[in-house]
Structure 1
Amino acid sequence: MSNDPWTKNYPEGIEPHLEYPSQLISDFLKNSTEQFPNHNAIYYFGKKITYKDLIKQAYKFANLLKEKGVKPGDRVAIMLPNIPQYVYCYYGVLFMGGIVVQTNPLYVERELEYHLKDSGAKTIVVLDLVYSRVKAVKEKVALENIFTTSIQDHLPFIKKLLYPLVQKIKKGPYTRLDKEQVLSLKQELEQSSDKPVNSPSKPDDVAVLQYTGGTTGVSKGVMLTHMNLVSNTIQCQTWVKVKKGQGSVLAVVPLFHVYGMTTCMNFSIASGAVVNLIPKFEVDSLLKLIESQKPTIFPGAPTLYQGIINHPKVNQTDLSSIECCISGSAPLPVSTQQKFEELTNGKLVEGYGLSEASPVVIANPVWGHRIEGSIGIPWPNTESKVVNELGEQVAPHEIGEIIVKGPQVMKGYWNQPEETAAVLKDGWLYTGDMGYMDNKGYFYIVDRKKDMIIASGYNVYPREIEEVLYKHPAVKEAIVLGVPDKYRGETVKAYIVRKKGSNVTDEALNQYCRSNLASYKVPRIYEFRDELPKSMVGKILRRVLAEEHAATLEE
């Protein structure tokens, strides 16, 4: 691996090959508690939880699960936003030898039913505000244990008193849950033992089922082992050069998303750092938290950084505590990177990963040489190359499919051997992303294989057009996709969110694009929106827009 061209670009102090302890991901919490028992592990709306108190709650949940008949290897679904209960339930499941099933609180009933049936989870921890969806499917999926919890359970006393009133104002009367076959997590934990629990799991056992977004069909359960997660966490620590017992991480990326799980939660816990939990992305409250808590590390997605950049109060807020940000989940526009760094004086670099790799495999050096527009270089112990349709490696600068290999790559898809065989070949993970490598070993994403547009026989990559659109002073957000065209096969359509106060027209954008792009790449259709559909992590959902466009053709 040392002959790979990118290793020459590793910052000083980072070795291309790391040693990983043979351990469980939950051992990180044990280790940090031993080293920093009185350090704060969690900050949540003024509530602080130390490492020794966090591990007690995790042990209580582990013992509670055992008492309810949950056995090692059983799957336990966690359907929560970024609240303290998520953290200690996650580690509690792992302490007793279970498998965490990451469950999006925004799932509708159809998605939830599939998710629970596919994983075989018979136990779920769910936020009371979305319990009705669990109730609607529980008979179909034969749930045995339902634990409900509330956002208010870990709020400071005054905020806890105000919470029902706020809910009444915002969302109508605050109603208590029906109690049939439902257990209050808070009440159950009060009765549970905090006796330490030693997991029977082995490092190569599955720790987490991380479901893919389903953008290419049916959502699949990615089997991530303890060692997959341990490896990626240590790689992350090494890349950021974190010092144990120091640092503060801003967790606005959902923890049920693989990126938030690793770079916010597991990274913080392994480092003995504080994780600042934010259940919902609201720029006003986020800016206040940054000013009061001085977080140093801010993993995120481009839309999060753009939201801060475009906020009217951003220039009145001290953002100087932020030292390091790794952007993932979607391409990072160069203009966003530059503006955010000007505001913070910190580093914002683009990285690349996928659920199947825990998730990070490639990133620009935070403290070394980076290249704008590049996703960076492979992380320690990670190999990557670009191949053609025959699986043969292509020359530098030649476009092909990016494939990766490393200790963070998944075991496979849950109960889907054929799907696993299609993407895992001789240890290499075929990512489905098109790109190239330059002579120095820096990688570039051109686009997802499935997103490539073929217009009049030309290959058109949406990312290139989006980069051009983001540089226009009137464009706040943009996304491009191919739509059916009788003459060209496909044609380019751009969805635009204008900046506040702008009334830029499609004619103006057309002229601008024609001066910056070859004619076959220029969008033929522009649609202006007040907002674009996004995932919980802030990724613009191209699939939803494509479905909406297809529906208009059927009318």
Structure 2
Amino acid sequence: MTAPHPTPQPVPQTRPWLAHYEAGVARDFTPSGRTVPDLLLDAAQRYPERAALHFLGKNTSYAELVKRARRFAKALQRSGVQPGDRVAIMLPNTPQYVVAFYGTLLAGGIVANTSPLYTAAELEHQLTDSGSETLVILDSMYPRYAEIAGRVPVKRVFVTRIQDELPFPKNLLYPVKAMREGTLPSDAFKHDPKTVPMRFVLKMQQPDPTPVPLAPDDVALLQYTGGTTGVPKGAVLTHRNLVANCEQARQWMPGLQEGREITLAAIPFFHVYGMTVGMNLSVLIGATLVLVPNARDIKMVLTEISKSRATIFPGVPTLYNAINHHPETAAHDLTTIRACISGSAPLMLETARRFREITQGANLVEGYGLTEASPITHTNPITGEQKEGSIGLPLPGVDALIMSEAGEPVPTGEVGELWVSGPMVMKGYWQKPEENGKVLREYQGRPWLLTGDMATMDEDGFFRIVDRKKELIIAGGYNIYPREVEEALTSHPSVLEAAAVGVPDDYRGESVHAVVVLKPGMLASDKEIMAHCRTLLSPYKVPRSVEFREELPKTAVGKTLRRQLAQEAKDRLAKESKRA
């Protein structure tokens, strides 16, 4: 049940953003009704010999990818996986991830994306919460599972290795390289009778899997939220949700060439943004996916872009910023990149401008989405009218409103909570009906998702995210949005990245605390940073304290953990107060 709220005003019938769509973008949108496996099967029929995957020198064609996905699906069925069973996939961006993802869906299973960065405790929570009886995992990650194996419902484990997908002689040299780096994969799984080497399954000649009838409204994925606002919850995403969002993104980019694009896939597939914009969209258009298993390895990212002649590069601000400042960037040709949608976190203006210079005009635009929306809802036009600092326009088929606390639309230009509606919105949270009432609401006969983000819409229909509703800083009665402070901080010539959080203040309630990472070789004092902010911000928004760090804590996809920074600052202040 949802909490009662005042009768809202009518949803505006006009959508001002439609007038600002670039040429070729459809104003109307109807999902095709396909399922996620249909995307792969269709691509294989159209482009059987085209490389679907490129992984460190080895290509896998679309025809081969389908064959391997079917083999994995058959292995799941033979091991006892039934339609609707959850299969947890804990892998980086490797061919095995793509095979396991589509294979699970072909078998009628539900994918539970699982971060390879999870601790044993985090893994235990997700496996238990999702009820996953099957786990697909990299050998080097197996020890974390082994710690909690007796406390989770897992009945079978498919273990795979990086070298299984490497071409000769890299497959032989990889263990030596791993030993030198101190990251030698574990072989502990060999003593577990529940484990099956995935490489044997994928080489085995066996019949096609038993066909499982799939409907668009069947559940395809449990995508767990990042946990930045509490305990991670599983967003229940259907085949319709995932396919619709891919098709919406495809319509947004009319310039994409079917069967000819090359996508640099550095954003993790276990994150919904990488899975939709990186993997599924590429499969939809028959693109080649150039897989990068570790996005933090900027040298590898640069090398793969220049070697593959990548044309599409979805990413996050931290990744683009790292490329901007890497010492080897100038030695690589990045000029083939045409389209880049930045998501997951705010894109600072300086980051976007510098990246466009380096790539000689790559269309890097800011977009917006959230796990519960599969995830994209807004983005700036790729080649058309753009507004710096905005998240752009709603995608075809997306409706958006800016609403007051009372559940009424606010006037154009005013701040309120962003609500979105469309075929990409989740069914709800897995086994958490009480949480659904907090974020899903019926409004004039339609379901809406309450994003929790504070935003504005201008007269042209461009939206701007002011900040997370829960991360609002209130100082002396004034609302302060961290993003605005962070824009000021990162405009300082010595600052690489920054975060602004609220800390307790006896007089003002809260004050702004800045956490700053300086560019390599650059210097700046806290007084200098604060003085710079005074030239750009109202006095009450200027940080009262500045902390310097070598890096900011982030989620696996690069989103700054403001809540963690705020808690650490509060704990430090409490200790200092006790000593005083």
Give the TM-score normalised by the residue count of structure 2: 0.94
Amino acid at match of 2:196: L
**CA 1:57–1:446: 2 relative to 1, 3 Å:** same
Contact 1:222/1:355 (8 A) holds in 2:
yes
For 1:105-504, list aligned pairs within 5 A.
Answer: 105-171=116-182, 175-179=186-190, 180-181=192-193, 182-191=195-204, 193=206, 195=208, 197-241=210-254, 242-281=256-295, 282-344=297-359, 345-426=361-442, 427-504=447-524
In 1, distance between residues paired with 2:466 and 2:512?
16
**CA 1:402–1:172: 2 relative to 1, 3 Å:** closer
Report how many aligned residue pairs link the two structures: 555
SS of residue matched to 1:11 = coil
Contact 2:127/2:153 (8 A) holds in 1:
no
The partner residue of 1:15 within 26, 35, 50 is: 26
In 2, distance between residues paired with 1:542 and 1:135?
31
Contact 1:63/1:192 (8 A) holds in 2:
no
**Deviates most, 457-466 or 183-192:** 183-192
Residue 549 of structure 2 aligns with which residue? 529
Any gaps of 5 or more consecutive residues in structure 1?
A: none
The partner residue of 1:89 within 85, 89, 100 is: 100
In 2, distance between residues paired with 1:103 and 1:288?
27
**CA 1:197–1:50: 2 relative to 1, 3 Å:** farther
Contact 1:59/1:193 (8 A) holds in 2:
no
**Deviates most, 542-551 or 459-468:** 542-551
Output one character per residue of 1:326-368: Cα deviation in whole Å (capped at 9) or x when no partner: 0000000111111111111110000000000000001101121
SS of residue matched to 1:157 = coil
Contact 2:264/2:304 (8 A) holds in 1:
no
Residue 7 of structure 2 aligns with which residue? none
**Percent of matched pairs sharing the same residue:** 48
In 2, distance between residues paired with 1:85 and 1:374?
37
Residue 571 of structure 2 aligns with which residue? 551
In 1, distance between residues paired with 2:253 and 2:264?
14
**Deviates most, 256-265 or 131-140:** 131-140
Amino acid at match of 2:51: N
In 2, distance between residues paired with 1:306 and 1:236?
24
In 2, distance between residues paired with 1:548 and 1:510?
21
Amino acid at match of 2:56: F
Give the TM-score normalised by the residue count of structure 1: 0.98
Contact 1:59/1:197 (8 A) holds in 2:
no
SS of residue matched to 1:114 = helix
In 1, distance between residues paired with 2:336 and 2:276?
22
Runs (4+) of structure 1 exceeding 6 A deviation are: none
Deviation at 1:534, TM superposition (A): 1.4
In 1, distance between residues paired with 2:309 and 2:431?
44
**Deviates most, 187-196 or 393-402:** 187-196
**CA 1:488–1:187: 2 relative to 1, 3 Å:** same
Deviation at 1:178, TM superposition (A): 3.7
**CA 1:173–1:438: 2 relative to 1, 3 Å:** closer
Deviation at 1:194, TM superposition (A): 5.4
Amino acid at match of 2:334: L
Amino acid at match of 1:103: T
Residue 68 of structure 2 aligns with which residue? 57
Output one character per residue of 1:41-71: Cα deviation in whole Å (capped at 9) or x when no partner: 0010001000000011100010000000000
Deviation at 1:313, TM superposition (A): 2.0
**CA 1:173–1:308: 2 relative to 1, 3 Å:** closer
In 2, distance between residues paired with 1:173 and 1:466?
40
Output one character per residue of 1:354-395: Cα deviation in whole Å (capped at 9) or x when no partner: 000000001101121010011001000110010000110011
Deviation at 1:545, TM superposition (A): 1.3
Deviation at 1:260, TM superposition (A): 0.2
In 1, distance between residues paired with 2:43 and 2:56?
23
In 1, distance between residues paired with 2:239 and 2:211?
15
Contact 2:142/2:186 (8 A) holds in 1:
no
In 1, distance between residues paired with 2:448 and 2:189?
49
Contact 1:94/1:199 (8 A) holds in 2:
no
In 2, distance between residues paired with 1:276 and 1:191?
26
SS of residue matched to 2:570 = helix
Deviation at 1:192, TM superposition (A): 5.3
